Copies of this chain bind each other. A is one copy, B any other.
Amino acid sequence: MIVAMQSGATEHEIQSVIERMVDLGFNVHRTTGTQQTILAGVGTPAHFEVAEFQVLSGVQEAHRISSPYKLAGRGFRPEGTTVKFKNGFVVGGNTVAIMAGPCSVESREQILQSAKIVKAAGGQFLRGGAFKPRSSPYSFQGMGLEGLKLLREVADETGLLVITEVMEISQIELMLPFIDCFQVGARNMQNFNLLRELGHARMPVLMKRGIAATLEEVLLSAEYILAGGNYDLMLCERGIRTFETYTRNTMDISAIPLLKKLTHLPVIADPSHGVGRRDLVPAMALASVAAGADGVIMEMHPNPDKAMSDGAQSLFPDQLTQLVGKMRLIAEAVGRKIE
């Protein structure tokens, strides 16, 4: 931590700050300039908040230096993390993963059709919600356990992996037999109790960025899962909230290369939620691959106009097939491949 004192700070104020730093476990190096005094705190105390120093008497500014995430930082695994799935497919290597499927599981026929389309288009993962978190209490809330069973059945039938959202600690055990990857939704990115439990699960996790989460917060949340011993973790950019209203969210494509620098974890892009409009999904999926994403997750519905949720952002089957074809060319242009 660095504390810059105000130019007129008294020796008493400076000493108080030094004492508080020492109390917390820092070694303090003092630089007395003609204009101001700067205190550098070296060390990594477990608990402290930089804001505490910002309001101490005589302090001009305080900055935290040592990042509070230890396991998520790139330095922990400079070579990068790869997540290996039970069928041998690997995310985080040279292959860009394709994950697709409807927002919600609605019926056996709908999800089977979806799986066949995803497989034919070249995908490896079938996505689909069994438990749905909806903003309105009057909206469709998902098929629950029945939906999980259907996902597993049709995925096995078509040779796909299942990724679906977990919303509650109590759902973890229930879901384990049916899935290949937990998805943590944007609204749960700071549900720390849930994250902690997922850290103890022996199952890969894809964690989405919260709608207003900084990348630093994304990494702090990742730390909760990693700290439990679960390193099969993928991060996912899915759009942030800004002032622009033409799109549901503003997809932060720069988060992809930036996360690749800051952390060793694979980064997946979700253009469907990123923009919330079917007509923009293809351009954003291509941009994601060009920017270095390790995978792309997309909503596709056999009949989007009849979808029970998120129909407006779901691709038509044909669109998905054509899109994956173009994504393949982009992947090759950046030295990667799509199966």
Identical copies of this chain, number? 4
Q: What is the distance, in angstroms, from A169's C-beta to the closest C-beta of chain B?
A: 7
Residue-wise, chain A 153-195 has the 8 Å CB interface mask toward B (1 for contact) of 0000000000000011110000000000000000110111100
A42-50, A79-87, A94-102 - the one binding chain B: A42-50
Chain A interface size range:
35 or more
A4 at the interface (CB under 8 A from B): yes
A124 contacts the other chain (Cβ, under 8 Å)? no
Whether A215 pairs with B192 at a CB distance below 8 angstroms is: no
A280 and B251 contact, CB distance less than 8 A? no
Asked if residues B250 and A312 are in contact (CB atoms below 8 Å), the reply is: no
Residues of B contacting A55 in the complex (Cβ-Cβ under 8 angstroms): 277-279, 312
Besides the known contacts A61-B65, A214-B243, A290-B330, 15 further A-B residue pairs in the complex with CB atoms under 8 A apart = A6-B75, A7-B75, A49-B312, A52-B311, A52-B312, A54-B312, A61-B63, A137-B220, A214-B245, A242-B250, A250-B252, A250-B254, A254-B274, A254-B275, A254-B280
For the complex of A and B, 7 pairs with smallest distance between CB atoms: A212-B212, A51-B312, A329-B333, A257-B283, A290-B290, A33-B42, A287-B287
